[in-house]
Amino acid sequence: MAATTLDIDAARAQFPALASGVTFLDAPGGTQCPQSVIDAISAYLRESNANLGGAFAASRRSDELVEHAHAVAARFLGCRADETVFGQNMTTLNFALTRALGRTLTAGDEILVTRLDHDGNIAPWLELAQDLDLSVGFVEIRDDTTVDLGDLERRLNERTRVVAFPLASNAFGTMPDAARIVELAHDAGALAWADAVHYAPHGPIEVAALGADVLLCSPYKFFGPHLGLAFGREELLRGWRPYKVRPAADEPVGSRFETGTLAHELLAGFVAAVEYVESLGWDGIRAHERVLGQRFLDGLPDRCTLFGVETMEGRVPTFAFRVDGVAPREAAERLAERRISVWDGDYYAFEPMTRLGLQPEGAVRAGFVHYNTLDEVDRLLEALAEL
């Protein structure tokens, strides 16, 4: 049974990269991997590297792995295994799924996205609109980066077919009221299309409880390899005509949208990543991350301007800020000299960065996950005070 408190030393000991002495605060762009994930990937390549459907042992082990990975994905997302879809990455999957949905849409239909979204849940809709003469509307965000639900209510109409939104902002850490967004979308007869990429390492996902129709995430953001993972409600998936080769199986229904050969070794790593998270438990992860985030907020130097929610309520511990008199890229480079890894730029959050007037330089972004420590938070704060 997973613990309700986190043994940070035991957790960190499972990550080889952390032994380097670098302070990894770059998790919003991709987390480090525990040894179990690395071992699972290499073990597959040593022992079971084969394509599917063969009569020989390695192929049969690969068949078993693919089936098991979907079962683990269902456990992670809170759905059925046949409703899960693996792909190259979230953006690629989203282009594929939006194209399949597009076959059911007609000119004049409307898609609503939010100005908080990563472009992976905006650009596919803009391209689909270009192809099919659809309309894409933008739900506004407030200055504190919270989604204006009143604006969403006003924009919903009889032609709205999809409301696309994030569970957490990859730029600012802001978590919209997802349950309310889903409710409003469904009341208008629209689909709720959720981007869970940034939320996934910070808390449990239960698509059945949330009521989302489609949800996408990326295992490399929750301690696994570079993959994309999606959930699609079975009724929807069965109603869409997929883009696939003719001999590919139609069952399980989610596999219709998995084009070509999957990266089997990465599926093995995905399984190990989920098992690692399960061994810790979300209660311990969330409690520890909240402490880290509060330490950062309490100690942020006055010469740093934070963008987004200024408390730990309604957010994950991802923070975008600027340092007075220091360009974001220069700040990131100077922190890197101190062996502190952070991001600069817009991180593909083009709309929210534009809304806050932060383009073209963007902001510095530091993100904490459960393997970070209070000492690392203090190291960052000290460095920011001295820049």
The CATH number covering residue 319 comes to 3.90.1150.10
- Domain of residue 96, CATH code: 3.40.640.10
Residue 4: DSSP 8-state: S
Do 289 and 263 lie in one domain? The reply is no
Q: Which of 277, 296, 311 represents a domain boundary (last residue)?
A: 277
Strands of the chain, DSSP E: 23-24, 84-87, 110-114, 135-139, 160-166, 191-195, 214-217, 228-232, 304-307, 318-323, 340-341, 343-345, 363-367
Q: Which of 258, 277, 296 represents a domain boundary (last residue)?
A: 277
Phi, psi of 343 (to 5 degrees): -105, 160
Nearest to 40 by CA among 249, 265, 195: 265
Q: What angle do CA 336, 341, 347 make, to 5 degrees?
A: 115
Residue 289's H or E segment, with its range, is helix 282-299
Do 256 and 292 lie in one domain? The reply is no
Say if residues 41 and 268 touch (Cβ distance below 8 Å). yes
Do 347 and 244 lie in one domain? The reply is no
Could you report the per-residue pLDDT of 174-189, keeping only the tens digit for each?
999 999 999 999 999 9
Confidence of residue 3 (pLDDT cuts 50, 70, 90): low
Residue 157 is predicted with a pLDDT of 97
Confidence of residue 312 (pLDDT cuts 50, 70, 90): very high
326 - beta bridge partners? 323
Separation between Cα atoms, residue 129 and residue 136, nearest integer Å: 7
Confidence of residue 1 (pLDDT cuts 50, 70, 90): very low
Do 19 and 64 lie in one domain? The reply is no
Do 107 and 20 lie in one domain? The reply is no
**Does residue 2 surpass a pLDDT of 80?**
no
Do 314 and 344 lie in one domain? The reply is yes
What residues make up the domain containing 340? 8-32+281-386
Do 122 and 263 lie in one domain? The reply is yes
Confidence of residue 249 (pLDDT cuts 50, 70, 90): confident
Percent of the chain with pLDDT over 70: 99
Any domain includes 2: no
Any domain includes 70: yes
CA 243 vs CA 47, 97, 250, 292: distances in Å: 32, 9, 12, 44
Please state the domain count of the chain.
2
Tokens for 159, please give them: 């032609």
Do 76 and 220 lie in one domain? The reply is yes
**Does residue 385 surpass a pLDDT of 50?**
yes
Residue 353's H or E segment, with its range, is helix 350-355
- Global pTM reads 0.96
Separation between Cα atoms, residue 348 and residue 146, nearest integer Å: 18
Buried b (16+ CB within 10 A) or exposed e, 58-89: ebeebbebbeebbebbbebbebbbbbbbbbbb
Do 263 and 285 lie in one domain? The reply is no
Say if residues 159 and 135 touch (Cβ distance below 8 Å). yes
Do 211 and 335 lie in one domain? The reply is no
Do 330 and 226 lie in one domain? The reply is no
Stretch 36-52: mean pLDDT, rounded? 97
Stretch 266-273: mean pLDDT, rounded? 98
Separation between Cα atoms, residue 351 and residue 357, nearest integer Å: 10
Q: Which of 277, 308, 328 represents a domain boundary (last residue)?
A: 277
Any domain includes 315: yes
Any domain includes 223: yes
Any domain includes 3: no
Could you report the per-residue pLDDT of 56-105, keeping only the tens digit for each?
999 999 999 999 999 999 999 999 999 999 999 999 999 999 999 999 99
Do 206 and 105 lie in one domain? The reply is yes
The alpha-carbon radius of gyration of the chain (Å, integer) is: 21
